[in-house]
Amino acid sequence: MARILVVDDERDIQTLFEQHFRKEIKKGELDFVFAFSGEEALEYMKDQEQEAVLILSDINMPGMSGLELLKHIREKHEKPPPTVMIITAYGDNYNYRLAMQLGADDFLTKPLDFNSLKEKLKAIIQ
């Protein structure tokens, strides 16, 4: 079972993910954990380093941004390197280039297309 860490300051994201992926969750294919800030995400990863296979993070959050979180992850969590997908409402070139430079595996824009996200997640996990 692959654990996915979703980082977003919008708490309703949790409900949304749980409903969209309820079949996968029910079947035990995917397991979601949620953090509502970059700091919270780092805290989680400190405790359970090996489990976060994939991280989905929003960029625009109060405090630590998603890009800063990505930088921290790439600097400190080398083994095994988790897949990091950056999600943002600002789908501009600047953020895209910066995310790629920092080592993001994918760059998604809001509103999320859950069907394509589902396929991407499945592809990465298998």
Contact positions vs another protein (CB under 8 A): 10, 12, 15-16, 19-20, 60, 62-65, 68, 89-90, 92, 94-95, 98, 110-112, 114
Whole-number minimum distance, CB 51 to another protein, in Å? 26
Whole-number minimum distance, CB 114 to another protein, in Å? 7
Separation of alpha carbons 50 and 88, rounded Å: 26
Separation of alpha carbons 7 and 54, rounded Å: 11
User: Which of 66, 82 has the CB closer to another protein?
Assistant: 66
Quickly count: other Cβ atoms within 10 Å of residue 54's Cβ.
21
In order, the DSSP letters of 33-45 are: EEESSHHHHHHHH
Whole-number minimum distance, CB 37 to another protein, in Å? 9
Question: Do 55 and 44 form a contact (C-beta atoms < 8 A)?
Answer: no
User: Which of 62, 81 has the CB closer to another protein?
Assistant: 62
User: Which of 48, 101 has the CB closer to another protein?
Assistant: 101
